Homo-oligomer: A and B are copies of this chain.
Amino acid sequence: MKFENVTKEKLLQKLSEFKIETPSWGFERGGTRFETYETSKDRKTIEDRIEGATRVHELTGKGERVSVHFPWDGENREEVEGLRELLQDNDLKAGSVNANLFSMRPERELDDRLRFGSFISPYEEVRESAIDHVFDCVQWMRILDSKNLVLWLPDGSNSPGQMSFYDMLDRTLEYTRRVCETLEDDETLLIEYKPFEPAFYATAVPDWGTALYISQAVGENAKVLVDTGHHLQASNIEQIVAYLAKSGKLGGFHFNDRKYADDDLVAGSLRPYQLFRVFCTLQEAYRRGFLGEKDLAFALDQSTYVKDPTEAMIESIENIMKNYLKALLVDYRKLRTQREEPDPTEADRTLRKAFEEPVKDLTREWKEKNGLPMDPIGRYRR
């Protein structure tokens, strides 16, 4: 087990330093609009979900921080304080705080006007209700000692007539700016983009270009969050990552895999080479010095209705760590030379060589050193 351009010790250290959050909501059985096939053993309560996160953390050594979703994980200060204790009791911390703007009022009847959006709603009352919820989330974030607020706007329109794009953008800017202004210097607003669903004609923040534009407009603290499953077919995700990194506005990731829509499948289960390329792109940025690994919030965001959700979480972590590790094995100095020559055939070989490298022995050694089970899914089942 020898690697040309990096020592084993360095690799083991990087594996240890790599952080990735698990999403509390991903421990429940997911579903489609057709059906949710809940089983009697599925996790349903916040206690269940944190228990799942705890198990994953114990079995993989990752997921020390758990992304939370409000109001799903708490509807008021007391519940959030309870959540903080629940996390502490399980040696976990809160990760990013996600504000749910599509059904944000669980304590009373859902406001059906939310179907016209939250921040972009034609109803001022709904817009204000939405931002109030986000303001609550900011408070709760501080209770939880979390520094990242994720804003995914589920807003858009379902037909050309429904809404003016100018109102859509104006309101998105206005309300996002108001959120950004409440943040402290060490807090970050992560703006997530998504091309469609639940809106089917236009989405307020459909692509990275919009997210970048907004993040530039609303303030220093605003950055862009890349969900790997939120792109139109054939998008080059690693390029988007690079361009965002270069713009200084890359803030974090939601990992999952997809083939058609926002499928929320296990990360790396369909396109492992793409996952590897995303990590290579980040490595290049780190090496060029304009991005720090700790600048980014890595999290899983997935929802499985077939596989057991907790097992799927472990599977994703294993895939991500493997591809992260492989990206560390790339000989970037050689790659740079090959690109300058230019020798694309050999440059591709340099990438592929690292991707095809077996990392079983390395991960085994890392797991042994950290007292982790070799087969976390097997252990989980027992």
**A interface residues with partner B (beta carbon < 8 Å):** 30-35, 37-39, 102-103, 110, 112-116, 122, 154, 157-167, 169-170, 195-198, 200-202, 206-210, 212-213, 216, 232-236, 238-239, 242-243, 245-247, 258-261, 263, 265-266, 269-273, 277, 280-281, 284-285, 288, 304-308, 311-312, 315, 319, 322, 335-336, 338-342, 344-352, 355-358, 360, 377
Contacts and interface: CB of A to CB of B under 8 A. Distances in A.
The 7 closest A-B pairs by CB, nearest first: A209-B209, A161-B347, A165-B242, A161-B348, A37-B115, A200-B263, A233-B233
Contact of A307 (B159, B322, B340): B159
Nearest to A356: B358
B160 A348 contact: yes
Given A166-B285, A169-B242, A201-B270, 4 more contacts: A160-B351, A209-B209, A272-B273, A307-B344
Contacts of A245: 166
A248 to B, nearest CB: 11
B339 A161 contact: yes
Contacts of A342: 116, 122, 162-163
A167 B284 CA distance: 11
A125 B308 CA distance: 21
Given A209-B210, A246-B166, A112 B37 contact: yes
A349 B377 CA distance: 11
A20 to B, nearest CB: 19
Interface centre among A30, A114, A339, A340 (most CB of B within 10 A): A339
A285 B315 CA distance: 28
A306 B344 contact: yes
A108 B118 CA distance: 37
A261 B371 CA distance: 45
B345 A307 contact: yes
Contacts of A157: 306, 344
Most chain-B CB neighbours within 10 Å: which of A161, A162, A308, A348? A161
